[in-house]
């Protein structure tokens, strides 16, 4: 008993000493833990609004329990098919066109030998990320204005008719994806550039000795070195496939473009903020989160089976 108790005390003392030795790191971690507890986990209490006829004046406890009625209302809504289709299409197009752009940009910058020129290009491509979404949407609106927009002025000079792009449903997805690429590609490439810096230069030297050119070095050294980072970010993006940024869409869309622009997040905004139907908005938000988790789990499982890499 005494030996067992002594071992137990020694173990506790060792654990305490271990924590004490890294106390500064735990203190640095504390704000992030508090952030997630206060702003992520605590609000989960409100998820039960999806199963209640929530009234903000009655409160959560006094609002009547309605079970799955809110979900039935969402799935039977005439707009559900439209918002789900638009969300999946915009997210899929983003994965096809926006996701590869930072990778391509990082590979191109990796080939630049002039330090000054490389720094200039990086600065120019990073800057759009730090411009407010409202400002970017205003720029897009100004550029595509039917009478004074530079795009329509060029079309007019070339002999084409002017087009009010933001009122045409068929143009909205292209505008949204292009804006996202311009604003985010440079900043998103930072993580790939960092991954490139971690590749052993001896591999490139050995490839040169074997007669490999830049293209073969990229195929057989650079891309395999980037693969773990690409897989990780791809899985995260797949998990966010239903989380299309509603801020930019709300700033750009209008009733004329709802056919191709209305997505789950904008529908939640209209139902929750404009119509004050918190039960419906919470139900579709919960549906969105569950589907996102399924996508992440599926993508991670497939990635582990195919190439042995994943988030967990």
Q: If DSSP states are collapsed to H, E and C, what string results for 29-82?
A: HHHHHHHHHHHHHHHHHHHHHHHECCCCCCCCCCCCECCCHHHHHHHHCCCHHH
SS3 250: helix
Task: Return d(Cα 260, Cα 89) in angstroms, integer.
Answer: 9
52 beta partners: 65
Nearest residue to 293 via CA among 241, 221, 216: 241
In the DSSP assignment, the letter for residue 160 is P
% of the chain residues with pLDDT over 90? 12
Per mean pLDDT, which of 55-64, 97-106, 257-266 is the most reliable?
A: 97-106
| pLDDT for 4 beyond 70 | no
Terminal Cα-to-Cα distance of the chain (whole angstroms)? 40
Instruction: Tell me how many helices (H) and strands (E) the chain has.
Output: 16, 0
| pLDDT for 102 beyond 90 | yes
Task: Return d(Cα 112, Cα 189) in angstroms, integer.
Answer: 15
Task: Return d(Cα 119, Cα 190) in angstroms, integer.
Answer: 12
Phi/psi for 164 (5° steps) reads -90, 85
Q: Which range has the worst mean pLDDT, 5-14, 53-62, 120-129?
A: 5-14
Residue 310: pLDDT band by 50, 70, 90 thresholds? low
Task: Return d(Cα 98, Cα 195) in angstroms, integer.
Answer: 19
Q: Which residue has the higher pLDDT, 152 or 56?
A: 152
Q: Under 8 Å CB-to-CB from 143, ≥6 apart: which residues?
A: 149, 150, 151
Angle at 37 between CA 35 and CA 39, to 5 degrees: 60
pLDDT of residue 6: 47
- The per-residue pLDDT of the chain, averaged, comes to 84
Task: Return d(Cα 230, Cα 223) in angstroms, integer.
Answer: 9
Task: Give per-residue pLDDT as tens, 146-158.
Answer: 888 899 999 998 8
């Amino acid at each position: 008993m005494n030996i067992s108790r002594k071992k137990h005390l020694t173990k506790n003392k060792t654990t305490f000493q271990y924590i004490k030795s890294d106390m500064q790191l735990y203190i640095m971690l504390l704000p992030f833990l508090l952030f997630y507890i206060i702003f992520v986990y605590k609000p989960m209490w409100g998820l039960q609004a999806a199963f209640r006829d929530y009234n903000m004046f009655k409160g959560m406890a006094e609002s009547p329990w309605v079970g799955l009625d809110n979900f039935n209302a969402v799935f039977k809504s005439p707009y559900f098919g439209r918002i789900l289709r638009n969300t999946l299409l915009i997210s899929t197009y983003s994965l096809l066109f926006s996701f590869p752009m930072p990778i391509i940009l990082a590979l191109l910058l990796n080939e630049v030998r002039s330090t000054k020129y490389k720094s200039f290009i990086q600065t120019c491509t990073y800057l759009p990320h730090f411009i407010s979404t409202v400002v970017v949407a205003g720029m897009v609106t100004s550029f595509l204005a039917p009478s004074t927009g530079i795009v329509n002025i060029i079309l007019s000079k070339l002999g084409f008719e002017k087009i009010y792009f933001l009122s045409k449903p068929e143009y909205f997805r292209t505008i949204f994806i292009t804006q996202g690429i311009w604003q985010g590609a440079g900043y998103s490439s930072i993580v790939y550039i960092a991954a490139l810096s971690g590749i052993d230069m001896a591999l490139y030297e050995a490839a040169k000795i074997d007669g490999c050119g830049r293209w073969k070095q990229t195929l057989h050294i650079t891309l395999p070195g980037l693969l773990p980072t690409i897989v990780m970010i791809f899985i995260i993006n797949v998990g966010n496939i239903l989380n299309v940024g509603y801020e930019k869409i709300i700033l750009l869309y209008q009733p004329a473009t709802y056919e191709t622009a209305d997505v789950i997040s904008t529908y939640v905004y209209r139902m929750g903020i404009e119509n004050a139907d918190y039960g419906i908005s919470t139900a579709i938000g919960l549906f969105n989160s569950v589907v996102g988790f399924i996508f992440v789990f599926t993508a991670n499982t497939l990635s582990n089976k195919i190439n042995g890499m994943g988030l967990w």
